């Protein structure tokens, strides 16, 4: 599975994400790379964010790092996909929720 995501501010792209879900050693792995406007990569060439499928339950999947510092949950709600990004740093937790819809056209 392949996907893209972009953040817009005042109609202009701020950054992009490109990701794939691949199976390695029998486990689903979410692999993601980030790019600034102009496609300047955030991660080093061979590096990427890697999250392992840790929960799959009906319309709900959770990918996470083994240390719990980062997780990404996808929940299907009718025609909408709700994505929750959870980060833990220095004992503080931050969550961002995104409501995703198919592109038209």
Q: How far is CA 51 from CA 31, 57, 79, 93, in A?
A: 7, 17, 25, 18
| Domain-located, residue 76 | yes
Q: Which among 21-25, 77-81, 98-102 has the top mean pLDDT? A: 21-25
pLDDT at 103 over 80: no
What is the spatial distance between Cα 33 and Cα 77, in angstroms, rounded to a whole number?
26
| Domain-located, residue 67 | yes
Q: How far is CA 57 from CA 25, 34, 60, 87, 104, in A?
A: 21, 28, 5, 22, 28
pLDDT, tens digit, for every residue of 50-79?
Answer: 999 998 888 899 999 999 999 999 999 888
Q: Of 51, 1, 43, whose CA–CA distance to 22 is shortest?
A: 1
pTM for the model: 0.81
Q: How many domains does the chain have?
A: 1
| Domain-located, residue 53 | yes
What pLDDT band is residue 100 in, cutting at 50, 70 and 90?
confident
| Domain-located, residue 59 | yes
Which residue's structure tokens are 């339950």?
57
| Domain-located, residue 105 | no
Q: Give residue 88's domain range.
A: 2-100
């Amino acid at each position: 599975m392949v996907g893209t995501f972009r953040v817009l501010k005042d109609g202009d792209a701020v950054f992009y994400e490109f990701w794939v879900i691949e199976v390695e050693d029998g486990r689903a792995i979410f692999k993601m790379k980030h790019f600034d406007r102009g496609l300047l990569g955030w991660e080093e060439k061979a590096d990427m964010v890697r999250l392992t499928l840790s929960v799959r339950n009906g319309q709900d999947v959770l990918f996470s790092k083994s240390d719990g510092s980062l997780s990404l949950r996808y929940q299907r709600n009718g025609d909408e996909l709700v994505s929750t990004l959870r980060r833990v740093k220095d004992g503080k937790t931050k969550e961002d929720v995104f409501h995703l819809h198919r592109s038209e056209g």
